[in-house]
Every structure is written in C-alpha cells, then in structure tokens.
Structure 1
Amino acid sequence: MRGAVITRTRLAIGRIPWSHGSVAECFKGRNNSLGFIRLCLASAVVVSHASVLGFGDKEFGHWFSHGQTDLGKISVYGFFVLSGILVTRSGNRLPLGRYLWHRALRLLPGLWVCLAVTAFVIAPFLYWRQQGSLDGFWGHARGPLDYMESNWAIAPRQNDVSGVIAHSAGSGLAHSPSIDAALWSLRYEVLCYFGVALLAVTGVLARARRVVLLVAVVLGFFVINPALATPHWAGFSDSSYATSFEIFPVMGKFDPDVLIYLGFAFAIGAVIEMYRERIPVSDPLGVLSALVILGSIHYGYFFVVGIPAFAYLLLWLAIRLPGPFRRIGARNDLSYGVYIYGFAIQQSLTAVGFARWGFWPYLAMSLAGTLAVAAVSWHLIEKPAMRLKDIGRKRSAPTAPPAAQPAPPGETEAVPESSSGEDRPLADSGSRVG
C-alpha cells in the first residue's frame, strides 16, 4: 500500500512542469549549496547591522518593507527554516544522547570562546578607548568574569562588560545596549532542538509525522491571523515582552511572540523534512517563490505568504545552484563564526571611528574582519570540536549500502546519516539589535 502511494506521488510530481523530482530524490548527499546559503545568511546579518551600529539608522530593508521586517530578521527566519529541515533529520536518525551531543558540540565550544574573546579582548579594548586606561575594568561589578558566568548557557543575560556600552556616550556605541546583541536568538534555537528531541523520544518523528504538520499549522495560525488584518504587520518586532517567561533560569527569558514566529519558521523546515517525498523541486516554483517574497516584503502580507515562500526558495537554491556555489562552505563553514563575532567586530570598528569613512568602507571592513575572525574560530575551535561528535560510538559490523536498506516510513530512499548536512555546522543566527 505504502509503495503504491509513493509511486503515485512520484508520478504526480513528475508531471509538474520542469520538475526535477521530489525533495527526497534531489536533496541527498553532500552535493548541495547549503554552505553557501548559510554564509550568505550570516553575512546578511552583518550587512543589516551595519546601518545601525555604524550610523544609528534602521536596519537594511526596514524602509523597503514598510517596517514589516529587515534583512537581518529575514536571515533569522532562513536559519530557522534550514535548522528545521536538518535538525529534524538528525533527531529522527540519531539516538537521543548522540543527537544532543552533536547539537552541543555545534553551539557551545564556539560560543564559549566567543564570550571569552569578547570579555577579555574586545571589551578591554573598548574600555581603554573610552577611559585611556584599564583602571576599574577588571574589578567592575559587571566585569568580564560576570559576563562569562551569566552567558555561558546560550542566553545573553548580561549584555555589557564593565560598562563599556553603558558609558559610551559620544563614542557611537550607544546605538545598541549590548556588546554582542546578535546572540539573542541562540536560546530560541536550542528550545527548538529540545522540541525535536521530545518529538523523537515520543515516536512522533518516526510514526506520526502529521503531528509535526499540526504544530506548524497551529503556529502558522498565530503568525498569519494578525498579519491578515494589517498588511504591513511587523511580527515580533511589535512585541512588548510583557509576558516573557523562564523555563530554565540559565537560558534567560523567552518572549512568546518571538518563540511563535521563530518556531513557525523552524516548523516549516521540519514539515519539509517529514514530507520531503511529496514536495517537488520545480524551477517555476522556485522563481515564483522569489517573486512572492519580494512582493510581500514591499507590498505587504510578508507573514502570510513570505516566510513559506522563503522556505521553499532556500531549499530550491540549495538543490539547484550550480557547482561553484556547492563548493563554498562544503568543507569550511564559517557561517556560525560570522554570526557570533560580527556584531562585536562592528562595535569595535565603530569605537575606533571607522564609520566616519562612510557606509561602504565600514561595511567592507566589517565583513573582512568578521570573516577573518570566523576563519580562525572554525579552524581552531569549531572544526576540532565537531571531530568529537562520534566519540564513544560503538563500531558496528558493515551494513548494506543505504539504497539497499529498507526505507523509513514516508521516504522513497534511505539517506546515510549526515548526508544532507544535518550534522554539518549550522549558523544559528540572529539579527535583532535590542
């Protein structure tokens, strides 16, 4: 029965004009452009922050979208969509302990070193630029050690280090209340990871994928309903944060509005993964999704049609971009480092007055400096950490090639673990300055 359904689905997809098959057929192996797309999304966050941190203006795209969104937030949605696809695949195929181990290795080593660099290198530099010495820096009530202690568990519960931002009047740093505000989204990403773990241990991912679709529909209702009444609805940017709640104190507070919007993007990715044998890879649909995104950003209803269209566009680009794009980020994925260091690098450039040269020189130096630091982070911290992902794993006897093994329910073909990149480093990005 299931075989007949899969066959009919394949035939239906094959009749779609210019269809290249289903996502299950096309999105397998490492021959994709995910690395390039992640790097573009992370770099877009740096671009979006440049106008704020360097010049005190709105983020890039704010005026074009009539206040709905901006380039940074769109990148956030993109990262959550990709995480939804790849992390759901990982959760569905790995034992719980190994799944959580892989996720921890992806996020924590790079983050901890970033916090240390921010607290003990960047913050002292900014303080010295302001005060002319380091007197009072190390013994400050909210000093570098406090910054490390408060922020080690993903959530940025302390935004400043020794008052370098609070006492930055006249230095340009007052454009943001945080030394590295981009870290705000990591706790929401981790909460989504725990959600996937829950669905995995309860058997939902393996046997009841309609529950994943139901979750996406419910979240979509809360996202789309207010946007239908207001074409240029601003999403979670309109949140008052009055109803924030804590789950674990070390993870800080979660805002329900933010969680719903980011959770919706993640859930769309999860649905794509769970129903990948039914989703066609079509060039006309890819082009149409790009037009829908641009139109909804400028003319309205981005949260009604824009986010789902963006999800399809990212997947289509990952599959259909030609060879040269597939080599970018395939072995060295700098996207996470670009995200976690970009904001602090830009704060440093602002402190030394680099913005006086104008937007484009400031942006060019921001990207160049961030990419350089991200490369060091990848080669010295993130990549060595990811080599530990199989530590303690029991070696098993050789098995048949994936294509010869029984396909899991709802799949047309078994895909080897990590083959589409679910355990390759993901840049868990954020964009909000506040």
Structure 2
Amino acid sequence: MMSQPFAEVYDRRANSFGALRLAFALAVVLSHSAALGFGRPLMQRVDLGAVAVAGFFTISGFLIARSARRTSVPRFLWHRALRIWPGLWVCLLFTAGVVAPVLFFERHGTITGLWWSPNGVFDYLRQNWWGGLRQFGIADLLQGDTPYWRWQGGNTINGSLWTLAYEIFCYLLVATLSALTLLRRQLRWLPLLAMLAVFGVLCWNQFRHGNAEQGIWLTGEIGPLPMLGALRKDSLLWYGFMFLAGGAAELYSDRLLINDLLGVLAIVVSGWLAVHGSFFGPALLAYAYVVLWLAVRLPKVLHRVGAANDYSYGVYIYSFVVQQVMAKAGVQALGLVGFFVASTLVSAGLAMVSWHLVERPALRLKNWTPRRPREPSDETTAGGSAPATVSTASVTASSSWHHA
C-alpha cells in the first residue's frame, strides 16, 4: 500500500493503456448492442457507453499532453491529423459507398436518388468529412424498420462518430496551450487550475441541482464551429473535464501518487455514484484516477495489448454501422450476447483491415517534413552551373533538418 509518484511507475513502453482502450471500445459495443439491437438501454441507472467514452478521454488527455510537450505545435497537429482523419475518411467512404447503396437498393430496388439528393451520400460525406457529425443519417435508409428507430426515432447510420468532434476540439485546445507555452513546467499550474474550476462546476451542479438540466453549462450548444459543427455544452463539460484530468495527471506525474488502497477506494466511489445515477459529477475525478491507476497496476500480460497493433479506434468507429446493418437483418434473434459477439467479430475484422491498410501506413508519415526550396548558389544566380560536389557539412546539415 505504499504510495509512488506516477512518473516512477509509468513506463511508456509497458502499460495497460492499450488494453483499456480496447476494453472501452468493447464496452461501447456492448452498450450499443442493447440500444441498436433491442431498442432499450443496457442498464437503467448508468450508460456504460458514456462511462467508456469518459475513460477514452482520460487516456487521451494524458497521452496528448505528453505528445504536445515533446513536439512542436505543427508536428503535434500533423500527428493528430494522421491518427484521426485517414481512418475516419475510409470509414465514411465504406459507409457511404458500400453500406448505403446496399441498404438503399434493398429498400427501393434502385440506387437512383441516393447520391445527390438532399441528405444523400455526397451530403453525408461533405458534412462529416472533418470530424463533426453534422448529418447523422443517409436518405431514409434506417427509417421505420430498426429497433433503434422504433425506440428513439433515429435514422442514425454511425452514431459513434459524434465524439470525434469533441476529441478534435480538445486537440486544438492543447495545441493552443502549447503555443502559449502553458504546458511548460513553470506554468503547468494554469491547466491544473482550469481542471479544478471545471470540477467546481461539476460539484455545484451535483449538490445544488442534482445534475438536473438547469445546472451550469448543461443546456444548449456552442457553435456551429468550423469543421466540427455545434458542440453540446454538457458533453463538452463532462468529457472536457476528463481530458483535462488526464492532461493534468501528465503535467504533474511527478507528484501524482499512485496508491493501491486509494485506487480501490476510487473504484468503489465512482461505481457507487454511477449505479445511483450520479456519475457525471464529482465521480468523474475518482473515475479518472481509476483509469490511471489501472494503467500501471493491471497484470503485465495486458501490456502487450495494443502495443504493436491498436484496433480500438477501428472497433469504435465501425461497430455502430455494423450493428445497425445487423439489426436490420434480424441478427438480434441470437439474443443480446449473440448479437454482441457477432457484431464484435465483424467490427474487429474491419478494425484489423483499417489498422493494417489505413491507420498504420498513415502513421508512418509522422516524421515527414516538407523539403525547403533549394537556394541557388552564387554561380547559378550568375548564370553558371552549380558545383558538382557538396561539402560533407552541408549534406549533414540538410539531412538533419529534413529528419528533425
């Protein structure tokens, strides 16, 4: 039960963040299995999918803050773009170019009118291309004949994508903080102060309003913002806090104490509040500690999960559309467990294809740097030819700049 600073027990090459990300993705699939397959929530008191997304944002806040502190702002933004957009774009193209025509033909016997009609394929791609989920459905593909439609009236073909706008917003926030040098050790108290201020709002909403709709920053939207569209204030408050908590943990990893007794207590507190319907309040701070504690305390065998191949993003972005198609095809006849297993296997297969053919090849471009235009030599400027040989020092300098 000894306490150790997080910086001492965390190993960036041997931790359970990969296993946790995959577990959170599967938790989302399980939660959506009930909603999309059977038109009901998985649990009445707590939304397992929302809890999993909160865990995602905690991990993201920690890792993104660490990345921003070790790279320049342009390089940081380049890395984030490579991680989010290629996988998203191929998922959108798969949904619009493969799934939508099949469903539209099954409904109408033709694909005429699918492409350029209002809310058609090209509108879907144009509205959602940059990460903001502005158009939820395509034409009338899922109207009337899916459990989710009968429950919520939603013609949503891939609802999982809505969180990406909040993730990208947090990336831009970190990039701004980094550009203003607010992530440096001397100024790290400012992000911590922001996290504490948001936590104060969560506490106020919980104890003054009971997390009711009249609480601070729980109603309305901000935006629409460029590329991202409108963001709901409550989601931005809750998931933004988790991102800030993860980021603050990275900034203060030398002072954040990891204690097993405190970790177990945090599990009990966050779990107890969750089952009593009060998860999105002060429980979020305890839950953030749980995520970080598990990252360094889970068995070492789990350190291998996601270390070489990270399928969690693919599972997350493909599972919703897979489950909608399966629900339309009647796969829910297998029962909740069968529906979950079947949709997980198909989603995992698509995630593997996405990782090996799209995401990992894109990430190989992380160190790419645009070449500077070569400056003409004096001889070239004067009309002569450039010298045939270049000094070793010039080659070394040019190579070092290109690979920095």
Q: TM-score range by the shorter chain?
A: 0.7 to 0.9
**Does residue 220 of structure 1 match 2:199?**
yes
Which residue of structure 1 lines up, in the alignment, with residue 239 of structure 2? 262
Q: Which amino acid aligns with 1:202?
A: L
Structure 1 CA distance for aligned equivalents of residues 33 and 214 of structure 2 = 21
User: Closer, same or farther in 2 for the Cα pair 1:236/1:390, shift >3 Å?
Assistant: farther
Structure 1 CA distance for aligned equivalents of residues 111 and 281 of structure 2 = 51
Structure 1 residue 236, shift from structure 2 partner: 11
**Does residue 245 of structure 1 match 2:220?**
no
Structure 1 CA distance for aligned equivalents of residues 86 and 331 of structure 2 = 30
Which residue of structure 2 lines up, in the alignment, with residue 316 of structure 1? 293
Q: What secondary structure does 1:204 align onto?
A: coil
Structure 2 CA distance for aligned equivalents of residues 121 and 100 of structure 1 = 31
Which residue of structure 2 lines up, in the alignment, with residue 170 of structure 1? 145
Which residue of structure 2 lines up, in the alignment, with residue 12 of structure 1? none
Structure 1 residue 235, shift from structure 2 partner: 7.8
**Does residue 29 of structure 1 match 2:12?**
yes
Q: Which amino acid aligns with 1:247?
A: L
Structure 2 CA distance for aligned equivalents of residues 381 and 154 of structure 1 = 17
User: Closer, same or farther in 2 for the Cα pair 1:170/1:301, shift >3 Å?
Assistant: closer
**Does residue 189 of structure 1 match 2:173?**
no
Structure 2 CA distance for aligned equivalents of residues 80 and 131 of structure 1 = 41
User: Closer, same or farther in 2 for the Cα pair 1:102/1:31, shift >3 Å?
Assistant: same
Structure 1 CA distance for aligned equivalents of residues 121 and 279 of structure 2 = 41
**Does residue 199 of structure 1 match 2:183?**
no
User: Closer, same or farther in 2 for the Cα pair 1:375/1:234, shift >3 Å?
Assistant: farther
- Cα deviation, 1:302-325, whole Å, max 9, x if unaligned, reads 334321111111111111112221
Stretches of structure 2 lacking an aligned partner (at least 5 in a row) = 371-397
Structure 1 residue 143, shift from structure 2 partner: 1.9
Q: Which amino acid aligns with 2:125?
A: M
How large is the RMSD of aligned CA atoms in angstroms?
Answer: 2.3
Q: What secondary structure does 2:156 align onto?
A: coil
- Cα deviation, 1:170-220, whole Å, max 9, x if unaligned, reads 344525331111111111111111111111111111131110111101111
- Cα deviation, 1:331-364, whole Å, max 9, x if unaligned, reads 1000100111110000010111111232111111
Q: Residues 127 and 134 of structure 2 are in contact (CA less than 8 Å); yes or no, is this contact kept in structure 1?
A: yes
Structure 2 CA distance for aligned equivalents of residues 183 and 236 of structure 1 = 27
Percent identity between the aligned chains? 38
Q: Which amino acid aligns with 1:295?
A: W
Q: Which has the higher contact order (CA 8 A, sep 6+)?
A: 1
**Does residue 45 of structure 1 match 2:20?**
no
Structure 1 residue 389, shift from structure 2 partner: 0.3
Structure 2 CA distance for aligned equivalents of residues 220 and 237 of structure 1 = 13
User: Closer, same or farther in 2 for the Cα pair 1:142/1:128, shift >3 Å?
Assistant: same
* One of 133, 139, 142 as aligned partner of 2:119: 142
Structure 2 CA distance for aligned equivalents of residues 52 and 228 of structure 1 = 30
Structure 1 residue 240, shift from structure 2 partner: 7.7
Structure 2 CA distance for aligned equivalents of residues 382 and 139 of structure 1 = 29
Structure 1 residue 97, shift from structure 2 partner: 0.6
Structure 1 CA distance for aligned equivalents of residues 315 and 6 of structure 2 = 29
User: Closer, same or farther in 2 for the Cα pair 1:227/1:270, shift >3 Å?
Assistant: same
Q: Residues 42 and 75 of structure 1 are in contact (CA less than 8 Å); yes or no, is this contact kept in structure 2?
A: yes
Stretches of structure 1 lacking an aligned partner (at least 5 in a row) = 1-16, 398-434
Structure 1 residue 271, shift from structure 2 partner: 1.0
Q: What secondary structure does 1:332 align onto?
A: coil
User: Closer, same or farther in 2 for the Cα pair 1:236/1:35, shift >3 Å?
Assistant: farther
- Normalising by structure 2, what TM-score? 0.86
Q: Residues 145 and 328 of structure 2 are in contact (CA less than 8 Å); yes or no, is this contact kept in structure 1?
A: no
Q: Residues 37 and 332 of structure 2 are in contact (CA less than 8 Å); yes or no, is this contact kept in structure 1?
A: yes
Q: What secondary structure does 1:18 align onto?
A: coil
Which residue of structure 2 lines up, in the alignment, with residue 57 of structure 1? 40
Q: Residues 235 and 261 of structure 1 are in contact (CA less than 8 Å); yes or no, is this contact kept in structure 2?
A: no
Alignment of 1:275-424 (within 5 A): 275-299=252-276, 301-392=278-369, 396=400
Select between 126-135 and 88-97 the one with higher mean Cα deviation: 126-135
Structure 1 CA distance for aligned equivalents of residues 400 and 204 of structure 2 = 50
User: Closer, same or farther in 2 for the Cα pair 1:271/1:359, shift >3 Å?
Assistant: same
- Cα deviation, 1:30-88, whole Å, max 9, x if unaligned, reads 11111110000011111111111111102x23x1x2xxx41010111111111111101
* One of 190, 200, 208 as aligned partner of 1:229: 208
Structure 1 CA distance for aligned equivalents of residues 55 and 99 of structure 2 = 29
Q: What secondary structure does 1:254 align onto?
A: strand
Q: What secondary structure does 1:372 align onto?
A: helix
Q: What secondary structure does 2:282 align onto?
A: helix
User: Closer, same or farther in 2 for the Cα pair 1:139/1:192, shift >3 Å?
Assistant: closer
Alignment of 1:124-143 (within 5 A): 124-143=101-120
